[in-house]
Amino acid sequence: FLLGAFVFIFGLCIGSFLNCVIYRLEAGKSFLKGRSFCPHCKHTLAWLDLIPVFSYLFLNGKCRYCKKQISWEYPVVETATAVLFLLIFLATRDLAQPDSFLILNLLYLWTIASLLIVLFVYDLRHYILPDKILFPAILVVCIWYFVSSIFFQAYTRYEILNTIYASVGAGAFFLAIFLLSRGRAMGFGDVKLAAFMGLFLGWPHILVALFVAFLLGAIIGVILMAL
């Protein structure tokens, strides 16, 4: 229980950092330097203003200094990150693998989850999948396959080729849609995202992911048209 609680709190902190990444990515600023500040009045925030979720609730969703409303997305991203981190931890802790592999695998999945959260929120706001996040995500997956295969023999040559074929196939499928619709059905960022999904999930999991994605998109599309 204590370990799970620690993972959840750690996820909240990472979620707070991801909020910073999303905001500074939008503003074209580096998230590696500079202290956090209010997006409205630009006042530097004290540590009491930066406690994930708690600060938002304690301040009633408003900036301590200018009293302007803080977006509800901040606590939602923090909580979602914490829940995902905890679920990933629970799903991987009982795998029959060496402890060193389990730790690296956990860090790898947390990293991918974090990058996907940034992509999701940014795409939700701007309908853009930034290369500054997509390309590092692809690089992380490639590094993971290399390290885990060399040092832990976690993947066979066949499994590595399987993920490459899934990546090329998914990317080619989305590229065809992009070219045939001349970019009206989806953007080129979706092509790169599909290639990443194929690389990360492999075959046949990529089919399940694409089916669920199209199904959810259709359901949401019908609801929007009905409204």
| Residue 48 DSSP class | G
Interatomic CA distance for residues 203 and 161, integer angstroms: 10
Of 132, 146, 151, nearest in space to 199 by CA: 146
Higher-scoring residue by pLDDT: 95, 86:
86
* pLDDT above 70 as % of the chain: 99
Tell me the whole-structure pTM to 2 decimals. Answer: 0.89
Interatomic CA distance for residues 137 and 143, integer angstroms: 10
Would the pLDDT of 105 be above 80? yes
Spatial neighbors of 174 by CB under 8 A, at least 6 apart, are 186, 190, 191, 193, 194, 195
Helix and strand numbers (H, E) in the chain are 8, 0
Would the pLDDT of 97 be above 80? no
Neighbouring-strand partners of residue 44: 37
Going through the chain in order, the beta strands assigned E by DSSP cover: none
Interatomic CA distance for residues 64 and 76, integer angstroms: 20
Q: What is the mean pLDDT of residues 195-220?
A: 93
Of 130, 126, 138, nearest in space to 163 by CA: 138
Tell me, what amino acid is at 13? C
Determine the pLDDT at residue 81.
97
Determine the pLDDT at residue 113.
97
Determine the pLDDT at residue 44.
82
- Residues 139, 140, 146, 149, CA torsion sign: negative
Q: Are 157 and 128 in contact (CB under 8 A)?
A: no
Would the pLDDT of 143 be above 90? yes
Would the pLDDT of 96 be above 70? no
- Residues 97, 161, 141, 150, CA torsion sign: positive
Would the pLDDT of 34 be above 90? no
Determine the pLDDT at residue 198.
95
* pLDDT above 90 as % of the chain: 57
Would the pLDDT of 32 be above 80? no
Higher-scoring residue by pLDDT: 31, 65:
65
Q: Mean pLDDT lowest for which of 5-9, 18-22, 63-67?
A: 63-67
Would the pLDDT of 167 be above 70? yes
